[in-house]
Amino acid sequence: MPTFTASANRGRFITLEGGEGAGKSTQLRRLAESLRTRGIDVVTTREPGGSPGAEEIRGLLVTGETGRWSPVTEALLHTAARRDHLERTVWPALEAGKWVLCDRFFDSTMAYQGYGLGLGRELVETLQRAALGEFRPDLTLILDIDVEQGLRRAASRHGGEDRYERMDIGFHQRLRDGFLDIARLEPGRCAVVDADADLDGVQARVWDAVAGRLGLQS
């Protein structure tokens, strides 16, 4: 199966992860602006989605009843969307020397389906190897926030993409614990960012993590 082969001038791939209401989308936009002011060509994208085919699959995953899919089916749908996203959006941008910022990536499948829905790590890791090969983000920022506070934030948003938000509080606590466990297992790739602050405060923490890990000037 074809996979990504990095060239010397490839861009960097940064993913933002976290539970519902952690502020990933806002911080991704702010980080993109900060990088662009420093002359870096940035592409922003999201999962599930980020390519035409993956966006179609997104609609199946983030809307409808909470029990719409079995955990295995969900993981397979996410994996299919991810592979299309990589082939059509992420890998071409990186090969062109652009930096790609992605709102969620494979850690969300591990956290949501592996931990939150109880599939466990082994099956999700098998699916990820099939979709990604050895490809991994250069840096993953995990925005961490108290579960109830995050859900209050998420509830203030408008829109119909709330299927996961409507799952029970136990699911969301397992989700948070899952992200923190992922960070514990891969400290070289992951940086946990305390998202319990105002937007500017979290932005400063995000930038400190990016600058420190990827060698950028503050």
Rounded alpha-carbon distances, angstroms, from residue 159 to 29, 140, 162, 176: 19, 27, 7, 23
Annotated binding-site residue? 18: yes
Annotated binding-site residue? 21: yes
Annotated binding-site residue? 24: yes
Annotated binding-site residue? 22: yes
- Residue that has been written with the tokens 């699959």 in this structure: 57
Rounded alpha-carbon distances, angstroms, from residue 60 to 52, 53, 68, 92, 119: 14, 12, 9, 26, 20
Annotated binding-site residue? 23: yes
Number of H helices, E strands in the chain: 9, 5
Residue environment code for 195-217, b if the CB has 16+ CB neighbours within 10 A, otherwise e: beeeeeebbebbbebbeebeeee
Rounded alpha-carbon distances, angstroms, from residue 212 to 139, 205, 207, 217, 218: 11, 11, 8, 8, 9
Could you tell me which residues are annotated as the binding site for ATP? Answer: 18-25
Could you tell me which residues are annotated as the binding site? Answer: 18-25
